Chains A and B, each alone.
Chain A
């Protein structure tokens, strides 16, 4: 059976992930044998899995990829959708940070420690952050400082502090810096008042200064410095307290109050819900991407039917609200931040370490509700390019056409010249029909909008 090593799984010599036709596997190399055995025998693994903090796996008798290095092959639970920290809302990143520290505290209790603290090792599964790298643990040696301290500060503390104190969109720096935001950059961008909070002064500003001071130091003596267990735990607890105190109180944005400010009548909203539910029951998709989901109102129609639904929006306030609702129980909705006009690219070595949005598709069904006018008019995207995009990302499409006579489109056109003579319902149907078969079109009561169900044409 052919194997394909996951492109982003090469930094840690302990093992690597690979795909086969029947799922994803992880090879554990001989070099990690002692630590893996300790993880399993110490009950740390079962404790963390029971606490919903570590991905469960089973040991399998599968052929290894690199035979001479292989100790064991494990098959981890499959994750519906891999997301990245630059796609998370403030509270998602905060919960991921707290989960990492909770895992570290458990690990210490069992005589182990996290040897890395990468935000990319955390994924959201059923609304909760989960560590997906089973090989992140090593035996704790008393006296040794936390080897992942720098990484934790760069991946979690720096972006969260920047989001809370400077600007919510500064998490996008994580897209530029794959190993977290450099502390000198974070320190330079943060306001002076962060220096008056002891934890931020030490973990970010002084930490950055210390890195600069020792940038050229290869002195082995420095690395042999000892840190007692109480001091070690003190640092972990202080980091946890610092993260917990970081808060972001979102103000009003264009989208955060969308449902309160639109001119949807309750009848047209109800009709729209009924039409979508009918489409879902007809095609029964296994997974959905809801693009331009706002706070995820329609994403929940899929999730309520047991369908994992990724709920994308450009607005950090909407994504935050969506996630806070997910925490209350809508576990199959995964809210994520995404600018559709500039979706997440492939980043890292060979642009392959972290997948682009399109690499993570296609999905069974996409929702594009009250979206097309923003793409076509606000972003000057020709209809043919929009149809081509959906052709790449989904097998079926629920899309709402919003005509120029709609008040929302009129609003978009009040401040600019109408250079969109081709933005008509006829042109929309003609262009999309080249990629999709239109299975249904429902004129929504009380509005001039039409909801379409389309299925991709077979090549």
Chain B
């Protein structure tokens, strides 16, 4: 529930910050600035979700190891991420 409350808080904050700016689009586009700021705005929420998922994986790995299932170190969150095969 805390995660959901945190997520909602960030979403409302993000929408609020975006609504502060005027809605006129000018001919000259510098999309980099908007994209940079967008990442900063959503980074907190998505980073939080990522951290929670990593934490959850550690818990699952801990109990799996405790009960003798899944002894692979790859399940640990502090291991480098092993990107999945896109062709799978």
Q: Give the nearest-CB partner of A153 in chain B.
A: B35
- Give B34-46 as 1s and 0s: 1 = Cβ < 8 Å from A's Cβ atoms: 1111111111111
| Nearest CB on B from A148, distance (A) | 9
Task: Given A210-B37, A230-B50, check contact A235 B42 (CB 8 Å).
Answer: yes
Q: Does A330 contact B (CB under 8 A)?
A: no
Task: Given A207-B35, A210-B37, A219-B33, check contact A231 B87 (CB 8 Å).
Answer: no
Task: Given A95-B87, A150-B31, A150-B32, check contact A210 B46 (CB 8 Å).
Answer: no
Q: Does A109 contact B (CB under 8 A)?
A: yes
The reply to whether B43 and A227 form a contact with Cβ atoms under 8 Å apart is yes
Q: Does B16 contact A (CB under 8 A)?
A: no
Q: Does A146 contact B (CB under 8 A)?
A: yes
The reply to whether B39 and A206 form a contact with Cβ atoms under 8 Å apart is no
Expressed in whole angstroms, the Cα–Cα distance for A145 and B38 within the complex equals 10
The reply to whether A210 and B41 form a contact with Cβ atoms under 8 Å apart is yes
Q: Does B83 contact A (CB under 8 A)?
A: yes
The reply to whether B37 and A228 form a contact with Cβ atoms under 8 Å apart is no
The reply to whether B32 and A223 form a contact with Cβ atoms under 8 Å apart is yes
Size bracket, chain A contacts: 35 or more
Expressed in whole angstroms, the Cα–Cα distance for A227 and B43 within the complex equals 7
The listed residue (B14, B34, B39) touching A146 by CB distance below 8 A is B39
Expressed in whole angstroms, the Cα–Cα distance for A228 and B45 within the complex equals 12
- Give A78-122 as 1s and 0s: 1 = Cβ < 8 Å from B's Cβ atoms: 000000000000000001101101110110110000000000000
The reply to whether A149 and B33 form a contact with Cβ atoms under 8 Å apart is no
- Give A415-437 as 1s and 0s: 1 = Cβ < 8 Å from B's Cβ atoms: 00000000000000000000000
* CB neighbours of B68 from chain A (8 A): none
The reply to whether B87 and A212 form a contact with Cβ atoms under 8 Å apart is no
The reply to whether A210 and B35 form a contact with Cβ atoms under 8 Å apart is yes
Expressed in whole angstroms, the Cα–Cα distance for A226 and B40 within the complex equals 7
Tally of A-B Cβ pairs under 8 angstroms: 149
- Give B1-27 as 1s and 0s: 1 = Cβ < 8 Å from A's Cβ atoms: 000000000010011001001110110
Expressed in whole angstroms, the Cα–Cα distance for A203 and B34 within the complex equals 12
Q: Give the nearest-CB partner of B52 in chain A.
A: A234
The reply to whether A231 and B49 form a contact with Cβ atoms under 8 Å apart is no
Q: Give the nearest-CB partner of B50 in chain A.
A: A234
The reply to whether B86 and A228 form a contact with Cβ atoms under 8 Å apart is no
The reply to whether A217 and B33 form a contact with Cβ atoms under 8 Å apart is yes
Expressed in whole angstroms, the Cα–Cα distance for A214 and B30 within the complex equals 7
Q: Does B60 contact A (CB under 8 A)?
A: no
Q: Does B59 contact A (CB under 8 A)?
A: no
Task: Given A211-B31, A213-B18, A233-B47, check contact A102 B37 (CB 8 Å).
Answer: no
Expressed in whole angstroms, the Cα–Cα distance for A145 and B39 within the complex equals 7
Q: Does A192 contact B (CB under 8 A)?
A: no
The listed residue (A183, A232, A238) touching B49 by CB distance below 8 A is A238
* CB neighbours of B40 from chain A (8 A): 145, 225-227, 231
Q: Does B66 contact A (CB under 8 A)?
A: no
Interface centre among B32, B42, B44, B87 (most CB of A within 10 A): B42
The reply to whether B81 and A109 form a contact with Cβ atoms under 8 Å apart is yes
Q: Does B67 contact A (CB under 8 A)?
A: no
The listed residue (A102, A150, A216, A228) touching B43 by CB distance below 8 A is A228
The reply to whether A228 and B36 form a contact with Cβ atoms under 8 Å apart is no
The reply to whether A223 and B36 form a contact with Cβ atoms under 8 Å apart is yes
Task: Given A216-B28, A222-B37, check contact A202 B42 (CB 8 Å).
Answer: yes
* CB neighbours of A226 from chain B (8 A): 40
Expressed in whole angstroms, the Cα–Cα distance for A390 and B35 within the complex equals 46
Please report B residues at the A interface, Cβ cutoff 8 Å.
Answer: 11, 14-15, 18, 21-23, 25-26, 28-51, 53, 80-81, 83-87
Please report A residues at the B interface, Cβ cutoff 8 Å.
Answer: 51, 95-96, 98-99, 101-103, 105-106, 108-109, 127-129, 145-147, 149-150, 153, 183-184, 198, 202-203, 206-207, 209-219, 222-223, 225-228, 230-235, 237-238, 327
Listed A/B pairs (8) with beta-carbon separation below 8 Å: A95-B87, A101-B83, A149-B39, A210-B38, A214-B30, A226-B40, A235-B39, A238-B42
Knowing that A207-B34, A216-B26 touch, tell me 4 more A-B residue pairs with CB under 8 angstroms: A210-B35, A213-B18, A215-B28, A237-B50
- 4 closest cross-chain pairs (CB), A and B: A231-B43, A102-B83, A231-B47, A234-B46
